[in-house]
Structure 1
């Protein structure tokens, strides 16, 4: 049986769902790419978090000792409900069974060090507790995933306030692109990128994320 840490819940489902891979999208909002001094990519930029990075609602983020600059990034999460390989954009939404609220916690100092050397980002993105994640709501309860307000507050202060209509790569195109390389399987999670306003968190901070029609997520920093 999978560890309960590696499972999520979909409202209405009879049992927890074991998580497979977590495929993440970088620089999918123009303003966020610009605030970090990155060029806006012509095609999706992908990276993967392990299932061991998951953190449930109410949990504590633990910043690894090799970093002193951990940033928050609030994102709309997709739950994959059926398998798909090399799918077309026209059929891609059939794979989505639910939507959730996620945080892509990022060790910015570590990421910048790795980027300057042309190395992968896993040390900055995949550490334990790097992916706080809410429960999921069924896909049919969200009227339009590209018209959702996305917000994050730290200690009650609004830090991120965006809308999913500002995505560069829309969900059908994103899932089609991913499935050309990785077969998407039931239990996989896709993070769709973060709007502008990312910034640092420190020990004792409380993070509260919300997405219209989807839900809320509250975690703290140890």
Structure 2
């Protein structure tokens, strides 16, 4: 199973779309060992003092595909979840200083807490999904998929031009353009899709 992430994929207003859509998607991968499921608490990683949260919708791939067309791409999604793409920002800064990769900053154990999935049939319009994140009861991020720079279909078509997508692969599809920040030990995170609480955990 592959975990694929896309960076910098949301705008604040639809008027920004044409300028933001350059054709160059920021893609990275994360190891399966970064996943935390079933609303288990997440151990605050010892490798960082700067743990940045980003709430994201996660698309689960339901069948194998390579060089998937834009028109067919959404049919490869079997389910949708909500997750947190964590970044150790101090680790990332140190790696970037040496022109290094994102792997350690994005791939540590616990870097990808994720809810259970809802079938894609629950979402008649993938371009009109609301999701949000609350931390300690305070709303921090609000997202709507109409503000994605690259849609689910565009991500799948692009990624599959480089690598075969397989059943069970996960794609973290980007975070809202505003509201991301740092977590501290003891924070309580709750993420919802269409008002339904699906992800609920504490940093311990």
For residues 135-154 of structure 1, the aligned pairs below 5 Å read 135-154=116-135
Q: In structure 1, what is the equivalent of residue 5 of structure 2?
A: 24
Q: Structure 1, residues 46-89: CA drift from partner, whole Å, max 9, x if none? A: 00111111101322222322210101110010010000001110
Give the whole-Å Cα distance in 1 for the aligned partners of 2:62 and 2:140: 32
1:144: Cα distance to partner? 1.2
CA distance in structure 2 between the partners assigned to 1:117 and 1:167 by the alignment: 31
Residue 205 (1) aligns with residue 187 (2): yes
- Secondary structure (helix, strand or coil) at the match of 1:204 reads coil
Aligned pair 1:54/2:35, yes or no? yes
2:16 aligns with none
In structure 2, which of residues 79, 102, 112 is the aligned counterpart of residue 121 of structure 1? 102
Q: 1:62-141 to 2 correspondence within 5 Å? A: 62-141=43-122
What's 2:200 paired with? Answer: 218
- 2:45–2:110 contact (8 Å) kept in structure 1: no
Superposition misfits of 4+ residues, deviation over 3 angstroms: none
Closer/same/farther in 2, CA of residues 157 and 215 from structure 1, 3 Å limit: closer
Q: Secondary structure at the match of 1:97?
A: strand
Secondary structure of 1:129 counterpart? coil
Q: Secondary structure at the match of 1:30?
A: coil
- Structure 1 residues 88, 41: CA separation in 2 closer, same or farther (over 3 Å shift)? same
1:185 aligns to 2:154 (yes or no): no
Q: Distance in 1 between matches of 2:31 and 2:166?
A: 15
Aligned residues: 196
TM-aligned CA deviation for residue 162 of structure 1: 2.0
Secondary structure of the 1:177 match is: helix
Q: Which runs of no fewer than 5 residues in structure 2 stay unpaired?
A: 13-18
Using structure 2 for the length normalisation, give the TM-score.
0.91
SS at match of 2:141: strand
Deviation at 1:199, TM superposition (A): 0.6
